[in-house]
Amino acid sequence: MSDDPYTVLGVAKTATQDEIKKAYRKLAKTLHPDLHPDDPGKQSEFQAVSAAYGLLGDAEQRRRFDAGEIDASGQERAEPRFYHHYAREEAGRRYDPGEGQGYEDMSDIFADLFGRRTGGTRPEFEARGSDLRYHVEVDFLEAARGGRRTVTMPQGARLEISIPEGLRDGQTLRLRGKGAPGYGGGPAGDALVTVSVRPHPVFTRTKDDIEIELPITFDEAVLGARVDVPTISGPVSMTIPKGVSSGRRLRLKSKGIAGRGDQVVRLRIVLPDRIDAEMEELAARWRDSSSFDPRAELRRKT
């Protein structure tokens, strides 16, 4: 089916909200999965129709879509610190339960289609609530070490989130039963929280390995030394061998993510901002007495 929600619902872009609702009701009445339990094609069509109505059925979200602020999937063009959008994979999803018509509008439609056939007080139609999607940012070390945090979502709900050790940037956490309420006694959906990890000024990550650039002095590079090195679990002591160059990589075993990875320490020789006379004299004596040429191999290869 088309990605354009107007095309999916079969309405013009100038359609009124009432016309959009009527178009959705008509399609939902013929495509609902309860009527086609063994037809995946019809179920996919129903999901697309529900997603389209989830966007256009809310006047504010429709305005934002028409203005280009969100795309056809409900994604923000420029994401705020927290946001949520309708879940395309779940039927009957509202884009934003905290604004516009809310869940009640969708529930009324299903009630009209299924729950009022017999006129009884208990609806015949029972459905699981839709999943709700959220986005949250965490610090690099929080993701690496794991932990718990409470976040406040746009409509005011507070969710307790367990951050697993070694969580990756872009990973989605599922909070069961924290989504939209079910209809007719059905279970609530889940909250799907996608987590972005903020970069760290010192540490970077490659798979389960942590990497850090460690500045060392000229004498430490020449003579070797024992120095403290920061890791995600706290500082550790490391031996720098004699005669190392900038760019040399040393490895701290099991100091990466969850003890599975290592920490790679990339050395960088740093000279003081001001070179004193003693250091200049030492360097001059060494230059006059040494035949070392660091560019000899480069010339040979070129």
Kindly tell me the burial class for residue 299, based on how many C-beta atoms sit within 10 Å of its own C-beta (0-12, 13-18, 19 or more): exposed
| Sequence ranges of the domains in the chain | 5-197, 204-301
The per-residue pLDDT for 125 is: 60
Give the range among 124-138, 174-188, 283-297 with minimum mean pLDDT: 124-138
Residue 225 pLDDT level (bands cut at 50, 70, 90) = very high
204-301: CATH topology is: HSP40/DNAj peptide-binding domain (2.60.260)
pLDDT in tens, 87-133: 444 443 333 333 434 444 555 665 555 555 445 455 456 778 888 88
The per-residue pLDDT for 114 is: 55
Average pLDDT over residues 223-232: 98
- The crossing angle, in degrees rounded to 10, of helices 40-56 and 59-66 is 90
The answer to whether the beta carbons of residues 166 and 107 sit under 8 Å apart is no
Kindly state which CATH superfamily the domain 5-197 is placed in: Urease metallochaperone UreE, N-terminal domain (2.60.260.20)
Kindly tell me the burial class for residue 223, based on how many C-beta atoms sit within 10 Å of its own C-beta (0-12, 13-18, 19 or more): exposed
The answer to whether the beta carbons of residues 52 and 26 sit under 8 Å apart is no
The per-residue pLDDT for 285 is: 94
Q: Is the pLDDT of residue 268 over 50?
A: yes
pLDDT in tens, 38-64: 777 887 787 788 888 888 988 888 988
Kindly report the pTM of this predicted structure. 0.57
Residue 267 pLDDT level (bands cut at 50, 70, 90) = very high
The per-residue pLDDT for 101 is: 44
The per-residue pLDDT for 71 is: 76
Task: Answer whether 5-197 and 204-301 agree in fold.
Answer: yes
Size of the chain, expressed as the number of residues it contains: 302
Considering only residues 215 and 28, tell me which one the structure prediction assigns the higher pLDDT: 215
**CA geometry: angle at 165 spanning 161 and 167, to 5°?**
75
Q: Secondary structure of the chain in the HEC alphabet?
A: CCCCHHHHHCCCCCCCHHHHHHHHHHHHHHHCHHHCCCCHHHHHHHHHHHHHHHHHCCHHHHHHHHCCCECCCCCECCCCCCCCCECCCCCCCCCCCCCCCCHHHHHHHHHHHHHCCCCCCCCCCCECCCCEEEEEEECHHHHHHCEEEEEECCCCCEEEEEECCCCCCCCEEEECCCCCCCECCCCCCCEEEEEEECCCCCCEEECCEEEEEEEECHHHHHHCEEEEECCCCCCEEEEECCCCCCCCEEEECCCCHHHCCCEEEEEEECCCCCCCHHHHHHHHHHHHHCCCCCCHHHHHHC
The answer to whether the beta carbons of residues 217 and 270 sit under 8 Å apart is yes
The CA distance from 285 to 262, in Å, is: 40
